[in-house]
Chains A and B, each alone.
Chain A
Amino acid sequence: MNQRSDKSSHCGSPEHAVHRRLFLQGSMASGAASVASFNGLFSIPAAAEQARQQGKKCILLWLCGAPSQFETWDPKPGTSTSGPFRAIPTNLPGTHVSQLMPRCATIMDKLAVIRSMKTEPSEHFQGIDVLTRGDQPRPPFTRPILGSAIAQQLGDLDSPVPQFVLLDPCPEGNEFKAFKSGNWAGWLGAEYGPVRAGGKYSIPNLGRLDSISELDHQDRETLRAFLSRKYENDRRSEAASSHNAAFQRVAGLMSCAPLFDLNKLPPADRERYGPGAFAQHALQARHLIENGSTFVMVANGMPWDNHVFQHEMHQMLVPELDNVLFQLITDLEDRGLLEDTLVIAMGEFGRTPWLNEARGRDHYPNAWSMAMSGAGIRGGVVHGATDKLGRNVVEGHTDNRQLFATIFRALGIQPDEEYDLPGLPTFRRVEDDAKAVEEVLL
């Protein structure tokens, strides 16, 4: 006892670290998670400037809960694991997808699908952790989530528009809810965490009150900044620096308030994307990317975890995803943005080939699929394959590290670069020299 140790305070699940915070913020007692999560995830700009590289951007459609590969990208028609849905041909000769994805079937030449994902964790929290950060946890160090890592590399921190946005209207989401309360930016620091919006998570207090003119609002902030900076500089105060950084962000955020207002989006676009929250926020993601955000993650709680009535649930969820992906990719292409914008659609693992007694599919990390399109990605490629029943990967085994190496490469970011973390062990963006899946890269 009493020996200094660099080991973790807890058992490695970041869930534990957030407990007190949740408790103090009252969300354990009263379910007031909206405020808690919002405060916890809101970012602060860093003083440091990052050169903007190449202007690449990324939208992650985070299919939390984990969709079934059989009802999406890797149908097994006519087998015992297929389920009730057919496979349909696509505009890529010889490649079939589930009949639930007729629209994506017409743009398979723009998509790269990996059918050979094979990862470790089979529970949601651990799966979300590994598939959003790219690696297994190594407590007490917290690896930044994909959006933080990319916003730090590609983002324009001087922009008033938040560089990493999480659009997730659903306050719930089981393990994802707990995950959302955790430390997303990890060792990069809170300034690289996401701004959370969507649904009831509209950003409060963004509008100037009528009681003060725009000029007075600016001027009093100038006076505040002068007095507060003087205090900060006189004593090199970190607390004051954080306080002032938060205020420095106010004017910029206020100026981009309309970006977060769904009602300001063109009605025709809203209709095309469809009525669901996920669809509407995917449209908002496009809007944010068009207006200067670097990374937008779209989620909707954890709807894909269909242990019960999997076919019925997927019959609702997959067509929405199909349309959203189609609209998003074609919109970005029409606007000339697809070349620079990587679109990713994935969850934290796949579903079992067999059905359980509740006609659900359970968690299955051994063989699953995901899809990408846009920046740096070669369209019309299907990488890897599973066996006849979809039980195992038989070709092109891809794990979380290789996937992340591929994503970083597609965005022009060097995967094996070391993080600059004085006093910490050596961490790389992707560990162990994992190789990108060259086949899907341009």
Chain B
Amino acid sequence: MCPAGKLLHTSMFFVCVWIAATSAQAQHVLVTIPGPSTTEQIDYYVARGWADREVDPATSCSDREFVRRLYLDLAGRVPTVQETDGFLGDQRDDKRQHLVDALLKSEDHVQHLTDVMDALLMGRTDEDKYAERAAHHWRSYLEEFVRQNRPWNEVAAEILLARPDNQSERGAVWYLYERKNNHQSIAESIAPFFFGLRIECAQCHDHMIVDEIKQSDYWGLVAFFNRGKNTKTKQGPRVVESAIGGFSEFADLTGSSYPNLLSFLGSAPLNEKRPAAGQDQQDLDTLYVSGKPSDAPRVPKFSRRQAFIEKVVTGNRRIALAMVNRVWAMLMGRGIVHPFDEMDSMHPPSHPDLLDQLTIEFINSGYQMRGLIRSIVRSRAYQLSSRQPSGVDDPASFAWYLERPLTAEQMARSVQLTVRGEFKNDAPLLQAFRQQFRDVLPDTFVAPVADALYLSNHPAFDRFIRDSDEPAHLRERVLQQPTHSKRAELLLNTLFHRPPATSEQKAITDFLEQRESNLGSAIDQAIWSMLTSAEFRLNH
């Protein structure tokens, strides 16, 4: 681009920013002035943040660093040697963008993003419950959401309404259903995931520091869902909603009582007639929509869940805001608001204009995750080296790529792929790992000693390495190499995606030389040493 063009572009951009800033408070205002791409806007705002903070960012990452990082972040696994070499050999100037687009279309991306969404929406669980999530189509529902790049606002509404009218939506029921009529647990999960707010504090009192979170919000959100009851129907599990009940009072710390009105985050309380104290409500058929098939659950004429979608969810900017910040956190290592699900007045964004702009763009795009992800990974900040520049300490500056541990699934796929050349998403190793490495997007990474003990002594991991003894597996391929030096090269290239440094080559060569009598076993141990080293364990 010529300098003149750049200038023009930049001034256009400021117009766009100005409009965005003035419109940020109003909902539904869509800024449609043609201007710089979302990626260019990210680059602009993040660079402005560096200037404001007077920091110099890290250098750009190398192609080698980029290819491993991008595979992990988008495909949920490390690349193979062939994939790495193919990328390094690609002579196109825009090869990084080509790789981004290819990976976003891949089935691996669907599986990876589904893993993360599932962990954040539902929490980690035991294997029986994972099986239930699959059997009741929750897993495939999430997969389709990612695969089809469906609008998040529509999916959010389906999940929260939990009243599917076709086969493809039926899995949406499981979000509420798995919570087994625990309406407080439902509310405490909806607030952070859908609205980016933690409200547990407000169970007993108005939030003492975050003024906008009231006790009435907590109990209001509970009330929207407290008429639901898990029911097994001929169509499958359903959360059947009653037309009556669900009225209660909550007491604050002074002992004063208040009705649990249908209201959340400042929405006007819905006008619903409350029965007088002691008055019984009749669960009359007339309170329900008629004309449903006889074996379908009744639907109340006034559905609180429906009202929640219409009055609170639809058009609520927070639905977009929370998702944008979460996707940013997934890719950048921390949210623009950190922690990513405490987007309240006590946690100001590090880049408020950027967050506003990304949210507007996300809404404009029809709430599509894939475009947002593409824009972020194409940004300069995403493609910085993970070496923290000296003198720069604030991770909120995004002045270097923040290292993060692989999730259980990323780890399990990557171990399988490197050691055996292929992976399965239902492998016992993956199931074992997700019971051990449970954190996803931790606020800070503190390696538990329990994990180190697990990797050192757990039979499942040990057996996986020892049983990888087929000709195509890494051990056998390493054995076939003519020299220890070549063996070290193959090990490093496969597991670390780079050639060995001299010192590394010597260390591995020495290690193998001392174990000539049982070389296969020695190679297993070398593979273990690399799989459990920080370079493999972290995305960087």
- Seen from chain A, the residues whose Cβ lies within 8 Å of a Cβ on chain B are 1-5, 7-13, 15-16, 19-21, 23-26, 28-30, 32, 35-36, 38-40, 42-44, 139, 190, 195, 203-209, 211-212, 216-217, 219-221, 223-224, 226-228, 230-232, 235-240, 242-247, 249-250, 253-254
Contact = CB atoms under 8 A, between A and B. Distances in A.
B438 A245 contact: no
20 contacts: A1-B348, A7-B346, A10-B201, A11-B209, A19-B198, A20-B443, A24-B439, A30-B129, A39-B438, A42-B449, A44-B449, A224-B532, A227-B529, A228-B533, A230-B501, A231-B533, A237-B538, A237-B540, A240-B534, A250-B456
Nearest to B458: A205
Please report whether the interface of chain A is mostly helix, strand, loop or mixed according to DSSP.
helix
Given A5-B346, A10-B209, A230 B446 contact: no
Given A205-B458, A230-B503, A242 B198 contact: no
Given A39-B448, A211-B462, A226-B507, A9 B438 contact: no
A220 B124 contact: no
A32 B242 CA distance: 32
A242 B446 contact: yes
Contacts of A244: 534
Contacts of B201: 10-11, 13, 16
Contacts of A209: 457, 459, 462
A159 B61 CA distance: 40
A204 B454 contact: yes
Contacts of A232: 534
Given A11-B209, A20-B341, 12 more contacts: A12-B209, A23-B123, A42-B450, A204-B453, A204-B454, A209-B462, A216-B521, A228-B534, A231-B533, A242-B447, A243-B405, A254-B457
B453 A228 contact: no
Contact of B533 (A30, A43, A224, A254): A224
Nearest to B436: A35
B457 A208 contact: yes
B123 A26 contact: yes
B126 interface: yes
A419 B42 CA distance: 41
B388 interface: yes
Nearest to B180: A29
A376 B437 CA distance: 44
Contact of A227 (B341, B463, B530): B530
Contact of A220 (B188, B341, B345, B526): B526
A29 B453 contact: no
A25 B435 CA distance: 9
Interface centre among B447, B504, B528 (most CB of A within 10 A): B447
B508 interface: yes
B525 A219 contact: yes
A26 B124 contact: yes
Interface in B470-523: 501, 503-504, 507-508, 511, 521
Interface in B329-380: 339, 341-342, 344-349, 352
A10 B204 CA distance: 13
A237 to B, nearest CB: 6
A19 B387 CA distance: 32
Nearest to B534: A240
Nearest to B385: A235
B178 A42 contact: no
B456 A239 contact: no
A242 B198 CA distance: 28
Given A8-B209, A23-B189, A25-B124, A240 B198 contact: no
A29 B341 CA distance: 19
B528 A243 contact: no
Contacts of A24: 119-120, 123-124, 438-440
Contacts of A40: 448
Contact of A28 (B123, B449, B521, B532): B123
Contacts of A221: 456, 529
A15 B198 CA distance: 12
B449 A11 contact: no
A20 B191 CA distance: 12
Identify which of A28, A207, A209, A223 gathers the most chain B CB atoms within 10 Å of its CB: A223
A246 B449 contact: yes
A57 to B, nearest CB: 22
Interface string B120-132: 1011111001000
A68 B39 CA distance: 65
A30 B126 CA distance: 7
A231 B451 contact: no
B117 to A, nearest CB: 13
Given A7-B209, A230-B504, A239-B538, A224 B528 contact: yes
Given A24-B124, A26-B125, A228 B347 contact: no
B529 A9 contact: no
Nearest to A237: B403
A138 B336 CA distance: 26
B457 A206 contact: yes
B129 A247 contact: no
